[in-house]
Every structure is written in C-alpha cells, then in structure tokens.
C-alpha cells in the first residue's frame, strides 16, 4: 500500500514510529509537508500537487495536522477525500475535535460526562459564568490552546474575574470550567483505534502545576481503566467520528469526565509508559480498513 502522511516535522517521535511500522509491514509511506501541498480545485478532476508534481497513487492518508495550521491542513485533507483517497481520520471529524466548544457540545448531546462548562461573549457576563461553574477555583481555557498552553487555574473569585475580563477584553474566546479538585494534577489518556481501547496511561503534572501535559514536565505510568472509563473513551471517539484519537479524562467524584478528544495524539508518552506498539496497531487498522472511495464525507462539510 502507498500511504501519505500529512506532517510538517518528519523527525517527531510519532511520525518516525508510524513510518517504521508501515515499512516493517511492507508499505510505502511518504511524509508530505502539509503547507507545501497545493490544490487544483476543478470539476470532476480535483488534484493535489506537491512541489508542482501531481500526487497520485496514494491509497491512504494519515493526517498529522498541527493545531496552528488546522484550517489549511483540513483543506488539503478534503482535497484527498475528493480524490477518493481513504483517510485515517476524516476532515469533518478532525474539525469537530479541534473546536473545543463544538466538541463539548457534541459530547454533551451524547450524554457523556463533562466538567461543568460555561461560555459567553460579553465580559459583563463574568459573574454569571462563574456562577454556572460553581465559582472559584475554576479553570479558564483558550479555545485555541494546545498542550496545556492557554490554560489557567484561577483560585479566587477575584483572580478569575481578572483573567476572564482580560481575555475577553482582548477579544480572545475562552471556556470556563469547574475545577475537579479530587483529580489533583492527574488525568488519564486513553488511546482508541477503530472503536477499541488499545492503551491507557495516567499522566501527573510537575510539582506545583495542575496541568498534566508531558510536554510541560509531567510524568506517565500505565493504568488499568474501569469499564465506565473504557466505555466513555469509545463513545467519545464515536461521537467525534474519529478512527484514531486520544481521549483525556479526569476521575471525578461522579465518574469520568472528558477534558478533550485529540485527533492527532502523540505516541511517545503512551508507548514508553505502556510498552505497547501503538504505531503498529494504527498501521494494522489502516491495512484492514482502507478501501478506495470509502471516505464518508467525500470532502463535504
């Protein structure tokens, strides 16, 4: 099989592992810098080009689109979908997961556990927003933030009001969520592939940091998740329409609550923590499910 991976940095651990796993299974795989792909959008014969050369013969696409280039990356992915190339995660599903507000609304509609979340446009509604989430302490998140960047823990009502008003005064969209105190600085990352949980780990934040992101100095260890946590992760992936994703959850007093569904989860932390061949499982899923023209959305949406 000939596979294209849309990624900007071929040296990242996740990308190297996917290439290694694909080649071990006899597949041909090329890493294409997403920003260098151009598109010929024409009736009946849509084409994608790379450095001026038409991209042909690819049977599957692995999108590893960075958050900073989501809009252009999704346009490139839609072009492949229009060309009938099977995509590991489709453009519509990735778009849902990248929009924090929309993803929470979708998960809420499916009845999945979430922290109490408030969203408002007018800075004058700050007190109402804080009331919804139960006051301070609370967590304030930029809608565009990734890897723990743009996430603030406001420990008092005064500091919460100051942060919210400052963000909104700068015309930055934010979410305000209840702080799940009982989770401490730990969360659970569950890797779902093809509707099945294949690996799970507990991430714990660095000292004096409530964020558990490994990029910010956190640590990870394998963990046995509960049946409810397993079901929550699988249902979240299905709600988003993602074949591969990382579902981040907190253990609250009322069960698991979902913080985020990540459509391009990093593999280094979870492979090192669990010893599992996550990259190989992803390539095996592609091998079993890739079908020309099977893309559901065909570039729509």
Q: CATH for 2-95+285-289?
A: 3.40.50.20
Q: For the chain, how many residues are written?
A: 301
Q: Which CATH architecture has domain 117-179?
A: 2-Layer Sandwich (3.30)
Side-chain half-sphere exposure of 76, counting CA atoms within 13 A: 25
182-277 falls under which CATH superfamily? ATP-grasp fold, B domain (3.30.470.20)
Domain ranges, ordered by start, for the chain: 2-95+285-289, 117-179, 182-277
The pTM (predicted TM-score) of the whole model is 0.88
Tell me the per-residue pLDDT of 98-118, one tens digit each, with 9 for 90 and over.
998 999 999 999 999 999 999
> Can you tell me the mean pLDDT for 187-194?
97
Tokens of 23: 């080649």
Instruction: Give the closest residue to 201 by CA, choosing from 216, 212, 215.
Output: 212
How do residues 28-67 score in pLDDT, each as one tens digit?
A: 999 999 999 999 988 778 999 999 899 999 999 999 999 8
Q: Which residue has the higher pLDDT, 294 or 213?
A: 294
Q: What is the pLDDT of residues 111-164, one digit of tens each?
A: 999 999 998 777 678 888 999 999 999 999 887 655 557 788 899 999 998 888
Packing angle, helices 70-82 and 91-98, rounded to 10 = 160
Question: Shortest CA distance to 159 belongs to which of 131, 136, 182?
Answer: 136
Tell me which H or E stretch contains 144: none
Q: What's the token pair of residue 83? A: 């060309």
pLDDT tens digits, one per residue of 66-94: 988 999 999 999 999 999 999 999 999 99
Q: How confident is the model at residue 298 (pLDDT cuts 50, 70, 90)?
A: very low
pLDDT over 80 (residue 11)? yes
Check pLDDT > 90 for residue 216.
no
């Amino acid at each position: 099989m000939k596979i294209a991976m849309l990624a900007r940095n071929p040296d990242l651990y996740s990308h190297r592992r996917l290439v290694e796993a694909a080649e071990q299974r006899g597949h041909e795989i090329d890493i294409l810098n997403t920003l260098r792909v151009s598109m010929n959008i024409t009736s009946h014969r849509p084409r994608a080009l790379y450095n001026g050369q038409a991209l042909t013969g690819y049977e599957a696409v692995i999108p590893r689109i960075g958050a900073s280039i989501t809009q252009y990356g999704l346009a490139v992915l839609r072009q492949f979908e229009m060309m009938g190339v099977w995509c590991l995660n489709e453009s519509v599903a990735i778009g849902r997961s990248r929009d924090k507000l929309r993803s929470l609304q979708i998960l809420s509609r499916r009845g999945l556990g979430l922290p109490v979340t408030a969203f408002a446009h007018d800075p004058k509604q700050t007190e109402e927003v804080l009331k919804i989430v139960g006051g301070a302490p609370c967590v304030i998140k930029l809608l565009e933030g990734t890897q723990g960047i743009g996430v603030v823990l406001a420990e008092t009502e005064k500091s919460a009001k100051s942060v919210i008003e400052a963000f909104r005064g700068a015309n930055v969209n934010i979410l305000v969520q209840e702080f799940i105190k009982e989770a401490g600085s730990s969360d659970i990352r569950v890797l779902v592939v093809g509707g099945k949980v294949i690996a799970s780990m507990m991430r714990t934040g660095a000292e004096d940091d409530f964020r558990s992101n490994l990029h910010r100095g956190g640590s990870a260890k394998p963990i046995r998740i509960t049946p409810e946590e397993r079901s929550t992760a699988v249902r979240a992936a299905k709600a988003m329409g993602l074949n591969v994703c990382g579902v981040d959850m907190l253990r609250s007093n009322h069960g698991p609550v979902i913080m985020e569904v990540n459509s391009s989860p990093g593999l280094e932390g979870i492979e090192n923590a669990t010893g599992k061949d996550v990259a190989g499982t992803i390539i095996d899923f592609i091998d079993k499910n890739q079908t020309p023209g099977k893309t559901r959305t065909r570039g729509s949406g």
